[in-house]
Amino acid sequence: MAEEVERVAQELRGCFRSGRTRPAEWRAAQLKALVRMIEDKENDISDALHADLAKPRMESYLHEISLAKGACIFALKGMKNWMKPEKVPAAITTFPSTATIVPEPLGVVLIISAWNYPFLLSIDPVIGAIAAGNAVVLKPSEIAPATSSLFAKLLPEYVDSSCIKVVEGGVDETTALLAQKWDKIFYTGNGHVGRIVMAAAAKHLTPVALELGGKCPVIVDSNVDLHVAVKRIAVGKWGCNNGQACIAPDYIITTKTFVTELVDSLKRVLERFYGEDPLQSADLSRIVNSKHFHRIAKLIEDKKVAEKIVLGGQTDEKQLKIAPTVLVDVPHDTALMTEEIFGPLLPIVTVDKIEESIEHINAGTKPLAAYLFSRNKKLQQEFIANVSSGGMLVNDVALHLANPHLPFGGVGDSGTGSYHGKFTFDCFSHKKAVLVRGFGGEANARYPPYTPEKQRIL
Ligand code: NAD
């Protein structure tokens, strides 16, 4: 396998050196082919996502297929401008000269993707890597095998397979890939593997983008339109892969005086969304596999946790389904409250005053996303100024991801580097500093011998 991976890396290196991936025409042709692929194969993509996660078709379309197509079209429209050298002011010390920043492709890049949004999380960075003129190898997640094999089948049918390749596999294949020298590694997944990726990259001084996760908090103030807030929280949690999403709410913080009203509203909205028996709802994704099912089920088996369930808690191992589950005031030292949940459990932490929630968030590691629901402008400003997170959203959940003008990525434990829109192009480009001078503008003081007359300028 190591030889096969080395052969792939060398082939891509040769292709990149040949200059094939650099012209705007090649880049545009690949992106147009990707748009065609998404349009032609929409049903196949949806079927693969259903096979991997029982993802509802509507969710697959809204959260993966349409976003991927939108990202391709956005890159196609922007690419020529993004590729242009950017003229910057000349400095007096270099007079006369012109200064420009020239974006150039990094070279051959490795993209390692995760299982939860297996189509979007793979194609989105590939789009930016192509737009920036790189040769690419994509390693989709083996935990979403239907989507992984669909990529392996479809990409060569649509794009230039001499410069864009798919390598399927799990830990062994990824380990072999990581042993090669790449010009950038873009990894999406958990922080444990993120550290493995970074250590492997360090051996070759390869830059990395790490798109990781964490516990995304949602502060819910009492000064809200509660029905709208709860619908948005519910769809951002259970309507996003049944909580298996990096920016899904991990836990809520609210006040002791408001928690009952909030829980009652969650009960009403969840029943409206998923009926009386959510385990039978076709609108809820299943847990991806039995390992993750048991990991999540174990979080609520602990007696200290189980007694805090106020809604849900049902599981069905055969179907790998877990019902939307809400818990209140779970002890802070439990795994539920310390680890990223990445599933349909939603604990609520209560505080005396809503302002305390900012301190509570800042006592933990920096989240990928942080959310606040409140009409209170002062609280909104305090939240924006004092909470450090990859991204944040006031009065909604997860939607910041859908604006291609905003960078998407983590900070601290939730990751490093960002992408989406032009940020993906930048992520896979080197910004080369270029200064061009003529032969005029000689300043004698620059040259030895440094005579006393010349030193008089000091
Ligand atoms: P995963 O199991 O699919 O792993 C991710 C990738 O790492 C896969 O391609 C896998 O083959 C590879 N991998 C796994 N173990 C490895 C090892 N020992 N050595 C080398 N490669 C290895 O996905 P996951 O980690 O379960 O994904 C969930 C995590 O990812 C969560 O923490 C979630 O928050 C995070 N996530 C982040 C984003 C984001 O955009 N920031 C998006 C989705 C998921």
Which residue in 72, 240, 246, 427 is the catalytic one? 246
Instruction: Tell how far the Cα of 121 is from the centroid of ligand 1, in angstroms.
Output: 11
- Residue with structure tokens 């983008």? 209
Q: What are 416's strand-pairing partners?
A: 210
Pocket probe for ligand 1: among 5, 64, 67, 116, the residue whose CB has the most ligand atoms within 8 Å is 116
Instruction: Tell how far the Cα of 114 is from the centroid of ligand 1, in angstroms.
Output: 5
246 catalytic? Reply is yes
Residue closest by Cα to atom 8 of ligand 1: 141
Q: Does ipTM top 0.90?
A: yes
Instruction: Tell how far the Cα of 173 is from the centroid of ligand 1, in angstroms.
Output: 14
User: What residues are in contact with ligand 1 under a 6 Å CB criterion?
Assistant: 112-116, 121, 139, 141-143, 170-171, 174-175, 188-190, 193, 196, 211-213, 246, 340, 342, 368, 410, 415
β-strand pairing of 345-351 with 325-328:
parallel
Burial (Cβ within 10 Å: 0-12, 13-18, ≥19) of residue 385: exposed
Instruction: Tell how far the Cα of 191 is from the centroid of ligand 1, in angstroms.
Output: 8
| Per-residue model confidence (pLDDT) at position 457 | 82
Which atom of ligand 1 is nearest the CA belonging to 144?
Answer: 3
Rounded Cα distance between 299 and 313, Å, is 11
Which atom of ligand 1 is nearest the CA belonging to 214?
Answer: 34
Q: For residue 210, which amino acid is it?
A: L
Burial (Cβ within 10 Å: 0-12, 13-18, ≥19) of residue 395: middle
pTM beyond 0.95, yes or no = yes
- How confident is the prediction along the chain (458 residues), in pLDDT tens digits per residue? 889 999 999 999 999 999 999 999 999 999 999 999 999 999 999 999 999 999 999 999 999 999 999 999 999 999 999 999 999 999 999 999 999 999 999 999 999 999 999 999 999 999 999 999 999 999 999 999 999 999 999 999 999 999 999 999 999 999 999 999 999 999 999 999 999 999 999 999 999 999 999 999 999 999 999 999 999 999 999 999 999 999 999 999 999 999 999 999 999 999 999 999 999 999 999 999 999 999 999 999 999 999 999 999 999 999 999 999 999 999 999 999 999 999 999 999 999 999 999 999 999 999 999 999 999 999 999 999 999 999 999 999 999 999 999 999 999 999 999 999 999 999 999 999 999 999 998 989 999 999 999 999 88
Pocket probe for ligand 1: among 55, 67, 139, 174, the residue whose CB has the most ligand atoms within 8 Å is 174
Which residue in 15, 64, 163, 211 is the catalytic one? 211
Instruction: Tell how far the Cα of 113 is from the centroid of ligand 1, in angstroms.
Output: 7
Rounded Cα distance between 135 and 383, Å, is 41
- Residue with structure tokens 């990824």? 174
DSSP codes of every residue in 93-113: GG-SEEEEEEEEE-SEEEEE-
